[in-house]
Amino acid sequence: MADRDLASIQEARDLVSRARAAQQEFARLNQQQVDQAVQAISKVMTAMAKDLATMAVEETGFGNAEDKTKKNLLASDKLFKRIQPLKTIGVIDEGRESKITKVAVPAGIIAALIPSTNPTSTTIYKTLISLKAGNGVVFSPHPSALRCIGRTVEIIRQVLKELNIPADLISMIEIPTLEGTAELMKQADLILATGGPAMVKAAYSSGTPALGVGPGNVPVFIEKSADIDAAVKRVMTGKTFDYGTVCSSEQAIVTEDAIVEQVKRAFVSQGGYFLEGEAAEKVKVIMKSPKGGMNAAIVGKPASELAKMAGIEVPAGTRLLLYEEKGVGPGYPFSYEKLTGLMGFYSVKDWHAAADLCLRLLKNGGLGHSLSLHSNNEEIIRHFGLNMPVSRLLVNTPSSLGAVGSTTNLDPSLTLGCGPVGGSSTSDNVGTQHLFNIRSIAYGLDQAVPQKTTTSIDIDKISALVVEQLKKMNYVPAEV
């Protein structure tokens, strides 16, 4: 074991060293050349989206290939289209009026930590945003997704070779250990951490600047002004997407007493099943790991498979298992994040009580992340937007898809910042703009900024010539 740890540490050092040499060559390219490289990788990853998704499901057992394909396409095609027009290399703003010229400077080498729940899509996403900003990347894969992440990296490296760009610009630790990952984080210039709380904490404790994200225990408030059937359809779409493996997926329904029965009927009609009595207790048993946390065996599983694991019968076509939870916190397992086909359910007196309950749920492991609201009352929407401690309020859209920029205009991203309240250094959807520094060339305000040598146009002279021509044509303008 010690030999494996040492080998992993040495591998991390070697990969960063080779990535630095490759990044120095990459830094000589101009914006157009960098964009061409990013576009080429995007096209190949788009073409490989389905194959990589299938490989990820086969290896990890999480989610389903159809939805993982969609995530791969979000990370390749949609993300590329969003970042394509951005200036990220060299001078990005001349600043004639401000007398400040801004120059983009790559962060350097990115240590990219990849989770098992979204392995190939996160690898694609981090590659594109890093290369667009002129950086190199060394990936630290989750051990249970080593093969599919490795295949993704292998394809990207082949594209780089075809473009005569050093392939070592992108690489991956092939002997993944905690010690190797820790060394990688020390050697890199910036860390992109996507994963569990322990990983993110380690990233922020490494001594290297880091962009990490917190957990997403997302409450969903269905308010009485909402179109209930449409709201429930959105929730079902969001929660069942890739069987709940997205960190922004819906975790607990909160609704009002006045519409609770209507909401419950809508869930049942769309494939929801409410757990009661012995069935509920059996499901609670499989939710716990021996150490007291969430049981990894239930992650990314459909409701039908969860029912089999628990030994209970559910109607054919059941898509989601719900439970009317009585409280929040220890002893109330459905009040926590559940990356699977399980959801808590609450009913309260009115929207004021709903806001209070949503806050309690957020404090139970989701501060700073996201909250989902289904409502047509702008006053209530504004209240939640002004007062809830989240970075994203998703209104009338599936939260799992809206937060990552699939069904909203938020930046396409698979690393969702939670801000200081959630233990993150940013509240943004992390993207290319976070991966380069800006060097400012600031001129004194009493000095003129040197102008580029260009062919100038004398507007006054041209106007005078035009007026003379008009006079010869016996047409005199009323005013020039």
Task: List active site positions.
Answer: 247
* 8 Å CB contact between 393 and 233: no
Q: How far apart are CA 230 and CA 235, in angstroms?
A: 9
- Residues 197, 339, 388, 212: what is their CA dihedral angle, to the nearest 10 degrees? 30
CB atoms under 10 Å from CB of 265, counted, come to 14
* 8 Å CB contact between 421 and 392: no
Distances (CA, A) of 198 to 118, 203, 366, 430: 17, 9, 15, 19
Q: Quick one: tokens of 419?
A: 């801000």
* 8 Å CB contact between 53 and 68: yes
* 8 Å CB contact between 141 and 147: no
Residue 14 backbone dihedrals phi, psi, to 5 degrees: -65, -40
* 8 Å CB contact between 22 and 130: no
Tell me the torsion sign for CA atoms 79, 83, 84, 85: positive
Distances (CA, A) of 220 to 228, 270, 349, 397: 13, 17, 16, 11
User: Which of 108, 146, 199 shows the shortest CA–CA distance to 437?
Assistant: 108
User: Which of 202, 189, 151, 196 shows the shortest CA–CA distance to 172?
Assistant: 151
Q: How far apart are CA 278 and CA 450, in angstroms?
A: 79
